């Protein structure tokens, strides 16, 4: 089974994916951003646009996920924002056509909620002098795309929709598991440990290009 977790940038996709992986034995996270940033690094800066526009990215993601789903004995989790219906058909749709059990979820939240999360994600209060420029540059791009993402992802074709304004990452993971027919290990973490672990996940996923 593939759990594709969609949503706007800053919507909690990566944190939710890693929460599920932590509590679902045998599951793995396969992040489609990795090949996208790899393709970016092959290009000179002036040619770097949205890597999803590259056919190589869409085909490569399908190929790698197909291989993982075929050879790995466990649930595969892919956190990735996809708002273009054509690209959605070429990735999620194509994997379904290949016979894979793909469960797609879109995490949504009000605009102000996402903006607050994006500000927190930049680590500006703590790491601004070290990596603030790189983080803020990436988040400013996410803010520019926010309205488009929220509008597109609210469409029926991007269901199932899960609103996350008033819930936590562990509870969102629980909800996805129920809808997918999966059983997660109980969450016994305290609030402090959860925040520290989520901060570590966020730091590992800061991009500098």
Identify the structural domains of the chain with CATH numbers, from first to last.
Answer: 2-204 (3.40.50.300)
Query: Could you tell me if 108 and 59 are in contact, meaning their C-beta atoms sit under 8 angstroms apart?
Result: no
pLDDT tens readout for residues 76-123: 999 999 999 999 999 999 999 999 999 999 999 999 999 888 877 655
Q: Which helix (H) or strand (E) holds 135?
A: helix 124-153
Q: Which residues does residue 77 pair with via DSSP β-bridges, in sequence order? A: 3, 29
Q: What's the pTM value of the predicted model, to 2 decimals?
A: 0.86
Instruction: Report the phi/psi class of residue 35: left, alpha or beta, with left for phi > 0 and alpha for psi in -120 to 50.
Output: alpha
Q: Which helix (H) or strand (E) holds 37?
A: helix 33-42
């Amino acid at each position: 089974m593939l759990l594709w977790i969609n949503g706007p940038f800053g919507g909690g996709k990566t944190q939710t994916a890693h929460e599920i992986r932590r509590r679902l034995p045998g599951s793995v996270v396969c992040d489609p951003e990795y090949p996208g940033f790899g393709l970016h690094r092959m290009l000179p800066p002036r040619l770097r646009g949205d890597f999803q526009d590259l056919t190589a990215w869409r085909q490569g993601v399908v190929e790698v996920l197909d291989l993982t789903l075929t050879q790995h004995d466990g649930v595969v989790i892919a956190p990735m924002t996809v708002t273009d219906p054509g690209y959605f058909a070429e990735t999620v749709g194509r994997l379904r056509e290949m016979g894979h059990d793909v469960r797609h979820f879109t995490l949504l939240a009000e605009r102000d909620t996402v903006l607050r999360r994006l500000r927190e994600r930049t680590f500006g209060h703590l790491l601004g002098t070290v990596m603030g420029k790189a983080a803020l540059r990436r988040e400013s791009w996410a803010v520019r795309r926010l309205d488009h993402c929220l509008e597109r992802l609210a469409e029926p074709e991007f269901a199932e929709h899960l609103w996350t304004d008033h819930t936590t990452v562990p509870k969102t993971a629980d909800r996805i598991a129920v809808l997918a027919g999966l059983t997660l290990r109980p969450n016994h973490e305290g609030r402090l440990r959860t925040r520290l672990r989520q901060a570590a996940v966020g730091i590992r996923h800061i991009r500098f290009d």
